[in-house]
Structure 1
């Protein structure tokens, strides 16, 4: 197999990165993908940085054992904690991360507020602080840590009363503000987008980082002469660290939603 025909590796702390994988299937339909979700150790967002780094390095090693040509860290928390160290260590392979899509949110803010929903670790990390410093002079940016939301989604609870009550509780202090957009700073969160829209309405734009990440993936493949030029549709293989078959079933279900 030549390098172009090798699969693209995707990693997330659980099923969240499926939201980015879905976008990749649209933009790169000829590519094969290997996805690894570490649901056994989810959530990452409440762990310490050294533990997240260790788990992320283990995941990248797993993907490399599957012969991938590029690795996408489709997890905001893992990107915040480990992306710089990963790139220094794995010098022979492109590694793409994801970060909260603040730039497009600021561009459409028109002076209104922006809410960023993310895990506690993502919001606490230096990488996010640097991003905030870049934009918070232009617009009021509200950081909203959402501990517990990943666990709901990992349990397959992406709609209904439980999710709605969780989101209402988190957003109740900001409903009086004129909010231009909500940035989904965790790849799990796009799966509860519909419940979010029920609460904030259509006038608030919901933004996630999937499109920017997949565009960067395509650029990196092109720059490294790794784009698969076959005409047939690609194959997706999903692995999970948990032995609970329900998580694999959930992964494939979310991919088809």
Structure 2
């Protein structure tokens, strides 16, 4: 039986889901969070649906063994590929999957141009197609696949010249067409400042982290499972190295990737 003291499990294909964990921690500061990043198998976005499902189930089994009262799938690809199946396997567990903030963008910019930047799998999944078709009648929606950006964030190389050049090429066809850009992968918010510089401040950059956190809180409150007392965060990663764990904590604390890797190089 779930208790208030159980963890809220949060998982992603790597460090990207920490962007969601930051929102979760903000709206529920008293909760105990157990974050698991599967960086050893990242990126999920270039794998088959069957592979993503198998990886997702393996991670969730590990988390369930630790005692969960809720599970947040902080990975758009895993949500698209496995949320339905996970809910079927764990019907008594609160499971919240992240989705691109397409509704928010369509509400803010009716009739406008909206880019959805995501992994190839997320963009090709039927679940995303259904979401897109709710809004493509009233808005011009552009699907923008960016598979390499996950690996760039995992490597902490967002602000390199090579990454900036890659993003400039990626967005060239959409210049002047976008009112909003929806970040459809939880790794991408860690590159939002670079993306904003390239697109210009007039393009609104949105992600689904805040909505996911608020929905998780609502579900826990409804179930009477919100916790009181000091909060806790545990971070684990399948690539069990000091570097990935240091990067994870720096991202959670809002520190830049550039400084992280400079300090690693300098041995600080």
| TM-score of the aligned structures, taking structure 2 as reference length | 0.92
Q: Distance in 1 between matches of 2:228 and 2:109?
A: 39
**Residue of structure 1 in register with 2:5 after alignment:** 5
Q: Distance in 2 between matches of 1:162 and 1:29?
A: 38
CA-based RMSD of the aligned residues comes to 1.2
Structure 1 segments of 4 or more deviating over 4 A?
Answer: none
Query: What are structure 1's unaligned runs of at least 5 residues?
Result: none
Q: Distance in 2 between matches of 1:158 and 1:33?
A: 27
Q: CA deviation at 1:2?
A: 7.3
Number of residue equivalences = 254
CA contact (8 A) 1:100 1:183 kept: yes
Query: What are structure 2's unaligned runs of at least 5 residues?
Result: 255-268
**Residue of structure 2 in register with 1:62 after alignment:** 62
Q: Which moved more, 1:78-87 or 1:196-205?
A: 196-205
Q: Distance in 1 between matches of 2:143 and 2:251?
A: 27
Please show how residues 1-257 of structure 1 align to structure 2 within 5 Å.
3-177=3-177, 179-230=178-229, 232=230, 234-257=231-254
Q: Distance in 2 between matches of 1:245 and 1:68?
A: 26
Secondary structure in structure 2 of the residue aligned to 1:5: coil
| TM-score of the aligned structures, taking structure 1 as reference length | 0.96
Distance 1:65 1:42, change over 3 A: same
Q: Distance in 1 between matches of 2:34 and 2:186?
A: 17
Q: Which moved more, 1:65-74 or 1:180-189?
A: 65-74
Q: Distance in 1 between matches of 2:110 and 2:161?
A: 33
Q: Distance in 2 between matches of 1:21 and 1:176?
A: 33
Q: CA deviation at 1:158?
A: 2.4
CA contact (8 A) 2:71 2:95 kept: yes
